[in-house]
Amino acid sequence: MGFLERLKDGLSKTRTQIAAIVKGGDTIDDEFFETLSEALIVADVGVDLVDRIFDDYRDEIKRMGVSTRSEACALIKEMLVADLTVTKAMEDFPPKPWVVLVVGVNGVGKTTTIGKLAQELSVAGKRVMLGAADTFRAGAIEQLKIWAQRTGSDFVAQHEGADAASVAFDAMEAAKSRGVDVLILDTAGRLHVKTNLMNELEKITRVIKRNTPHAPSEILLVVDATNGQNAMKQAEAFHESVGLTGLVITKLDGTAKGGIALALTRRFNIPIRKIGVGEGIEDLQDFNPVAYVDAMLGV
Ligand SMILES: Nc1nc2c(ncn2[C@@H]2O[C@H](COP(=O)(O)OP(=O)(O)O)[C@@H](O)[C@H]2O)c(=O)[nH]1
Ligand SMILES: [Mg+2]
């Protein structure tokens, strides 16, 4: 299956519901908007955006003189795409090394995403280094090491339980001395209490900045699409603590909860850098708002 098919497969439930709403009548009445909103709420689009569809979009649709449900859906799609398009581009040619700090709670797919990203960058001819700043479990270090081997990336780690900021510092130094293009740092997602985790991440960020003022170029939060509205809470906590520059949404293969992409963008206005559509090394894709909204609402 290609990525779009996988994404469409996951979002097919929403698409089927919306097709039924469109076929269910031709009047653009309250019932149309209500059933549409319900389908989108089930898909985790979030109350905030659904309210907007009800308020702003409905006025716009009236003003445009749209008369059929399929025309109205096409217009809603356009408006959703406009809402999803956050333009801040990923830095193309930052001074070396380009440092990407990857954060997120346990199990969302941070390490896997780093492996996929390393693959993508290696294939594009970049020299990549992975730094194991998730020192919480020995298994986490080993897992990242395997991804480094698979992708031909350099690898920097210390022992389990080591100070994560010290690993980050070592990795920065190694990246600079070896002329690495991109350094990607893995981090822990679970410490005894949440404040510990945030303190650790803030310390890592401070150490990186002190070492190289333009770094990190990216602080990427990874969220799991199947976590639904919890992903919103996670984004809030991490954004407040370290200031996110981008999002990665994983596990969009086989979930009907793809609306979270819309909810997150709307709430935080942070670009979605990548989406994960499987466990394999190639299963990382750029986020294309048009293709995404098409997959959700039907083409
Ligand atoms: N289906 C699917 N599984 C994924 C995706 N990304 C990661 N995973 C799986 O999620 C699990 C946790 O991933 P991991 O990278 O260890 O998460 P971490 O704790 O955040 O580092 C693993 O079994 C991964 O294979 C994805 O896009 N789709
Ligand atoms: Mg991990």
Q: Comparing C-alpha atoms, which of 103, 99, 78, 80 is closest to residue 90? A: 99
- Mutational test site, ligand 1, from 279, 283, 285, 287, max ligand atoms within 8 Å of CB: 279
Q: Report d(CA 181, CA 179) in Å as an integer.
A: 6
pLDDT digits (tens, 9 = 90+) for 32-74: 988 888 888 888 888 888 887 778 888 888 898 888 998 998 8
Q: Which ligand is nearest the CA of 137, by number?
A: 2
Measured by CA distance, the residue closest to atom 4 of ligand 1 is: 279
Contact (CB, 8 A) for 260 and 249:
yes
3-state secondary structure of 126: coil
Task: Give percent above pLDDT 70 in the chain.
Answer: 95
The residue type at 278: G
Q: Is 250 in the pocket of ligand 1 (CB under 6 A)?
A: yes
3-state secondary structure of 102: strand
Q: Is 221 in the pocket of ligand 1 (CB under 6 A)?
A: no
SS3 letters across 158-202: CCCCCCHHHHHHHHHHHHHHHCCCEEEEEECCCCCCHHHHHHHHH
Residue 187: pLDDT band (50, 70, 90) is very high
Q: What is the pTM of this model?
A: 0.90
Contact (CB, 8 A) for 208 and 176:
no
Question: For residue 81, what are its two tokens?
Answer: 């795409």
Contact (CB, 8 A) for 135 and 195:
no
Question: For residue 43, what are its two tokens?
Answer: 């898909």
Ligand 1: atom nearest CA of 276 is: 27
Q: Is 189 in the pocket of ligand 1 (CB under 6 A)?
A: yes
